Amino acid sequence: MNTIWPGVYATLMGIHFALLQTGYFFELQIGLTAAYPSFITVILSWLAGSVIGLRAGRGGADYSLLLHVASLAAYGACVLLLNTWPYQTGLLPLYAALIMVSGAQAGYFFAVNTKLFSSVSRLFLMENNGFVAGWIIGFFGFVAFGHSFDIIGPATMGAVSAWLISGRPRPL
């Protein structure tokens, strides 16, 4: 088991969540519509998923790794569908459901990791710093490498995140 400082763990998970969110955003903008439906779908679906994840995290069992795999699978399915059937706005509800799965992982992350810090605001600060950094990485990665970055970035950070989740710090 690896041992990693809680602040590093929260920051890196924030980067992971941001790369997923920027990936969803850019892929929907390109493969569906560059109008407001793509943007609003990503934002509202992510938030709805986060609420579901927060509620699910109140139980005693730990589903962090399972939700992580589901989140990456949902992202992969979304990219695959967008590339297979581009501009099919009738699939928007399906994309929203897939984005909610990734949002649920983010909400669940907060619910199960609040005790790692002296306050929830500290957890939020560390994760949010990573999230902002991840949005910057996601933006410049997409500008520099295009669609390829939307595949490689989340996949790479997904592997790092799986390692982090498997050895994440535990509250005393």
Whole-number pLDDT of residue 170: 59
The packing angle between helices 36-56 and 6-31, to 10°, is 150
Residue 126 counted as domain residue: yes
150 domain residue, yes or no? yes
- Global pTM? 0.92
CATH number for the domain that contains residue 123:
1.20.1250
Burial class (CB in 10 A: 0-12, 13-18, 19+), 27: buried
The two structure tokens encoding residue 34 = 């560059």
Q: Which helix (H) or strand (E) holds 14?
A: helix 6-31
Per-residue confidence of the chain (172 residues) as pLDDT tens digits? 344 688 899 999 999 999 999 999 999 999 998 888 899 999 999 999 999 999 999 877 789 999 999 999 999 999 999 999 999 999 999 999 999 999 999 999 999 998 888 888 999 999 999 999 999 999 999 999 999 999 999 999 999 999 888 876 555 4
| Backbone dihedral angles phi then psi of residue 88, each to the nearest 5 degrees | -95, 85
- CB count within 10 Å of CB 73 equals 14
- Render 89-104 in DSSP notation, one character per residue: GGGHHHHHHHHHHHHH
Residue 85 lies in a domain: yes
For 35-70, the DSSP string reads SHHHHHHHHHHHHHHHHHHHHHTTSSS--HHHHHHH
Residue 79 lies in a domain: yes
Residue 75 lies in a domain: yes
CA distance linking residue 65 with residue 109, whole number of Å? 10
- The answer to whether the beta carbons of residues 57 and 108 sit under 8 Å apart is yes
Does residue 1 fall inside a structural domain? no
Give the number of domains in the chain.
Answer: 1
Q: What is the pLDDT of residue 118?
A: 83
Q: Which domain holds residue 141?
A: 6-166
Residue 22 lies in a domain: yes
> Is 132 part of a structural domain of the chain?
yes
Cβ atoms of 31 and 145 closer than 8 Å: no
Task: Give me the pLDDT at residue 171, please.
Answer: 53
